[in-house]
Structure 1
Amino acid sequence: MAVIEAQRVVTTRRAGPAVAAAGVSSFALLYAPQPVLPQLAADFHLDPGGASLAIGVPTAALAMAVLPLAALAEVAGRRRMIVWSVLVSALIGLALPLAPTFPVLVVMRAAQGVAVAGFAGVGAAYLADLVGASRLAGAVGVMIAGNSVGGMLGRLGAGFAAGPWGWRGGLLVVAGLSLLCSAYAARTLPAAPPVSRTRERARIGTALLAPFAVGALGVGAFVALYNAAGFRLAAPPLSLTPAVASLVFLSYALGTASSAAAGRLADRMGRRAALVTALAVTAAGSLLTVLDPLYAVVLGFAVLTAGFFAAHAVANAWVAAQAPPAARGRAAGIYTLCYYLGSGAGGTAGSAVYGHAGWSWLIVATSAGLLLAIVTVLVAGPRRRAVARAPRREYA
């Protein structure tokens, strides 16, 4: 047992940077168009809701592909699926700047969303197979931290590069960064033990309803706010340039820290209390953005980003830890399906709300979604602490 535990420690340390690199690559690509949505709207003569399809369509495609790819990974291997995912999505990213029309761009983005689903749908299940239950919360936190770093770098890279080179140059810069990260992940990702197959189809209980709801409703509110952020920051009275407006995505640094620390939060409070707290913080941050001063808007995005990523990390680890081993891949796929359906639907609907009714009504809509997520956790979440206290070294 001591030898097996020592091997898992070494494997965990190797897997962390590799999975984080895969997350950086995937989520930099997925959300790179977000800061240049105003430029896409101007170039292709679109309103905010139409331009947001560059985000909504690939996330919806990801949601539809995640369960089939999770099932395929049971046969082909989860490591192989992750490697395929990060390499193909990066190559599609390199081709995106060549899109001659917006419909072509959207089709290419849909294909990219399918490719990203290979990592997004199996990452947590791969880590559960690799590191075991005792280190899972910390490992998933590292993965989510990589995802948030990727989202931040993709948005910042595209936003700053769009100044001198336009939105096409911005997307090309992000694709080049993602290709480097995906090559590193493909080379260093450890092999996981083979997935045990059984004829008995394990059931996924109702205890997972709470994290599924958090995935859908939480990310719907989060993406809706960030989709509209570029328009709000560029409009009077703030009137920021695209490069300066993209600095709001530095808030993702707080998301990186909060997701990495989310395992400790769940250990101390229990999953149910940790999720409610994180969602309440997200809602409080979004309310701050209603205020006009720039510092209030920036502070609001920082707070809501920290809260959301903590909630996402706890919910993701909850699914991977509580699902039966035979159903772990399926449960992770369902969580990812809920997450990206919420992202696509919430992001597109939120952009439409902002375009027709303004920022204040967008905050009303997203706050209602977050409140519904909190109620679901309180009603469907476990009534006792479900997470055993983990050694401190897991989070070092």
Structure 2
Amino acid sequence: MNSAPASEATPYIQRGTAAFRRTNLAFVCAGFATFALLYCAQPLLPAFSAAFRVSPAASSLALSVPTAVMAFCMLVASAVSEALGRKPVMIASVVVSALLTVAAAFAPGWESFLVLRALFGVALSGLPAVAMAFISEEVEPQSSGFAMGLYISGTALGGLSGRILAGLLLDFGGWNWAVGGIGALGVAAALVFWQSLPDSRHFRPRPLSWSGLATNFAVHLRDGGLRWLFLEGFLFMGSFVTIYNYVGFRLLAPPFSLAHSTVAMVFGVYLVGIGSSTFIGGLADRFGRRRMLWATVLIMLAGLALTLPASLPLIILGMALLTFGFFGCHSLASSWVGRRALTAKAQASSLYLFAYYMGASVMGVLGGLAWASGRWAGVGALVGGCLLLAFLVAVLFLARLPPVKQ
């Protein structure tokens, strides 16, 4: 008796089924947990600076260290999941990330806190690198886009909630309560993820091949178009994170002198970015990525310009505009990478995410030095220079890039 093909014998997760609902619940919780745990440090940077008696640039290491570590680890996390399995790697990633965040709330000093955040970056790398692979393997193709959209919505909600809740908890009981509270929420979300995520049914383990991984990376790095897109990811993310890192220092100081909880509510402008990627993507379908990319960079530059005057309404409007432009830029560049890479698309995405998170790490520290030397004008000059470079790359190189031969 002949056995049925694997795709027929083992059905995919279909929309409308209990398994599909459990999968979506799992990834919404995972996305919420991991990005809340990562970005909860952003509104707490002034508190870290005061509590540990470090400079603003040094306080930014609370975010720069885990993003840098995560950037490097993500290059190999997907390859590790090929050998160990998607579900075990993701569960370990979410659970350990949450527990390390709880532990960081009890760190006795700045050095030990940063060590825990570095380990957190190692653990966190296992989710973004593997989630897309799991969804593409286990969910039927007609429903995978919807499932991926829910996961991304969970990451956006987590990034927003982590920033706002951390700021509110900071006024309630200090940075320990803020970090510990977000960590506890992360543990709860991780447990839901563990219980809800179905087992992999289409995954087939493969032995690790470090030479093959290096070969794929080399192929992508030889492509001039991909190199420009990787640079754009570095510049977009670095500029965006730098503004969010140091706007808290500005709003806590005169002439604004806002409370931490009020500053946390300013981060609510992050909401405008959740829908912008879809909106800009629709425009790109009509007018092309080449035209829309430089236009979205101009939107970020306009938003930055609005934050320069000492006017709270203009700062909030400027941050909203910059956030809208950033999500559009990221959506265009990341999808362009997927279209341009004809083989080993997972490794191409890993290289883009590496540049993306390294931008957050490097620019986050440089932004602290700019703040120390010129306050907000210094930060604006640094970010403005990076966005101007991103605009020139988009106009002079990417807009003229010949299409790849399919």
TM-score, with length taken from structure 1: 0.86
1:239-298 CA distances to partner (integer Å, 9 max, x unpaired)? Answer: 101111111110111122223545434323333333333222222111111011110011
1:243 is matched with 261
Tell me how far 1:13 sits from its aligned partner.
Answer: 6.9
Q: 1:329 aligns with which of 338, 346, 354?
A: 346
Separation (CA, whole Å) in 2 of partners of 1:374 and 1:128: 33
The residue aligned with 2:3 is none
For residues 286 and 12 of structure 1, what CA distance do their matches in structure 2 show? 41
Amino acid at match of 2:336: W
* Residue identity opposite 2:300 in structure 1: T
Deviation at 1:151, TM superposition (A): 1.3
Q: Determine the C-alpha separation between the residues in 1 that align with 2:307 and 2:275.
A: 21
Provide the rounded CA distance (Å) in 1 between the counterparts of 2:103 and 2:55.
25
Alignment of 1:348-387 (within 5 A): 348-378=365-395, 379-380=397-398
Partner of 1:87: 95
CA, structure 1 residues 181+293, in 2 after alignment: closer, same or farther (shift >3 Å)?
A: same
Work out the CA distance in 2 between the residues paired with 1:253 and 1:29.
18
CA 1:215–1:124: 2 relative to 1, 3 Å: farther
Distance 1:339 1:22 in 2: 20
Match of residue 78, structure 1, among 86, 102, 126:
86
Q: Counterpart amino acid of 2:295?
A: T
Give the deviation of 1:119 after TM superposition. Answer: 1.4
1:264 counterpart (282, 307, 315) = 282
Look up the match of 1:40.
48
In the alignment, which residue of structure 2 is the partner of 1:345?
A: 362
- Structure 1 residue 175 and structure 2 residue 193: aligned? no
Residue type of the partner of 1:287?
Answer: A
User: What is the distance in 2 between the residues matched to 1:319 and 1:275?
Assistant: 13
SS of equivalent residue, structure 2 residue 295: helix
1:32-62 deviations in Å (ceiling 9; x for gaps)? 1211111111111111111111111111111
Residue type matched to 1:365 in 2?
L
Residue 196 of structure 2 corresponds to residue 193 of structure 1: no
C-alpha offsets along residues 98-117 of structure 1, whole Å, 9 cap, x if unaligned? 10000000000000011111
Once superposed, what is the RMSD of the aligned Cα atoms? 3.0
Between the aligned partners of 2:295 and 2:132, the Cα distance in structure 1 is 23
Partner of residue 29, structure 2: 21
Q: 1:282 to 1:45 in 2, by over 3 A?
A: same
1:215 counterpart letter in structure 2: G
TM-aligned CA distance change 1:344 to 1:237, over 3 Å: same
Name which of structure 1's ranges 350-359 and 143-152 shifts more when overlaid on structure 2. 143-152
2:106 is the alignment partner of 1:98: yes
Greater mean alpha carbon deviation, residues 152-161 or residues 118-127: 118-127
Contact 2:12 2:139 in 1 (8 A): no
TM-score by length of 2: 0.84
Amino acid at match of 2:33: S
The corresponding residue for 2:240 is 222
Match of residue 172 from structure 2: 164
- Inter-partner Cα distance in structure 1 for 2:228 and 2:290: 9
CA distance in 2, matches of 1:56, 1:253: 23
What code does the residue aligned with 1:194 have? F
**SS class of match (1:281):** helix
Give the distance between the partners of 1:264 and 1:18, measured in 2 at CA: 28
SS at structure 2 position matched to 1:183:
helix
Q: Which 5+ residue runs of structure 2 have no aligned equivalent?
A: 1-7
Tell me the equivalent position of 1:293: 311
Change (3 A) 1:195 1:374: farther
Give the distance between the partners of 1:303 and 1:359, measured in 2 at CA.
18
State how far apart, in whole Å, the 1-side matches of 2:66 and 2:370 are: 20
**When the two structures are aligned, how many residues end up with a matched partner?**
384
Taking a change above 3 Å as real, the CA distance of residues 165 and 150 of structure 1, as seen in their structure-2 partners, is same
Conserved? CA contact 1:144–1:260, under 8 Å: no
